[in-house]
Amino acid sequence: MPYTCLTIEVADRVATLTVNRPDKLNALNDATIRELGAAAQELRARGDVAGIFVTGAGSKAFVAGADIGELATHGPLEARELSRRGQRVFAMFAESTKPVIALINGFALGGGCELALACHIRIAAEGARLGLPETKLGTAPGYGGTQRLPRLVGQGRALELILTGEMIDAAEAHRIGLVNKVVPAAELRATGETMMRQMLERGPLAVALSIEAVGRGLDMPLEEGLAMEANHFGILASTADMREGMAAFLEKRAPAFRGQ
């Protein structure tokens, strides 16, 4: 479908989804949320896409939050539905069995931070700033921030960021585990590509089931999570990819995985 708030480029099995509203610092209005949902569905279904980058247009912002002018017009029912729609859209990225890496090239605030949290991996440029400033506006995170952030950095750190609404720099975000890597801005894309290539060289079924096990397991009691892991381990033992991977290791050659 044609997009007005996003761009999608696909090269060598990797899609780059860019939120493209640089004049608004890539703020998430309702139209952008809807397009993100459509794009997530498209990329998850495309056979020529094995991995996804999410980033923002320009050099100032990844996504600098929600469109406050639009948000200010919503009543209680509209706001609740907007929150639920945003949560559903971001869940499409979190639950994707294709690796999703956020390339945080600038401000990632509010809904932008929540979008990054929904990605599997976060790489930030040195000048990036992250935060959930909603309480400064008399509201609270609505696109998953109160749930994903504490799962990532712990309850105390999450509450500190949410209740103060303060921004942190990329170095602090890395220190507390909010981002995986911090690199010079000029190296952001190359760092993401190196990591993505490592993932795409692995067995695609193993990658997909690992993403599912980690994502779903966080919401399960340990024993249930271990049972799911064992089931996945058994499923993979029936695949041609596992046989190929084991044979390649023993024969000291690179594996040729086929996703079967």
Q: What are the residue numbers of the active site? A: 114, 134
CA gap 218, 232 in Å, rounded: 16
Which residues lie closer than 8 Å to 130 by C-beta, 6 or more apart?
Answer: 104, 107, 108, 109, 113, 116, 124, 167, 168, 170, 173, 178, 179
Which residues lie closer than 8 Å to 21 by C-beta, 6 or more apart?
Answer: 5, 27, 29, 32, 57
The half-sphere exposure of 113 on its side-chain side, counting CA atoms within 13 A, is 30
Alpha-helical regions (H) of 101-260: 111-118, 145-153, 155-164, 170-175, 188-200, 204-217, 222-237, 240-250
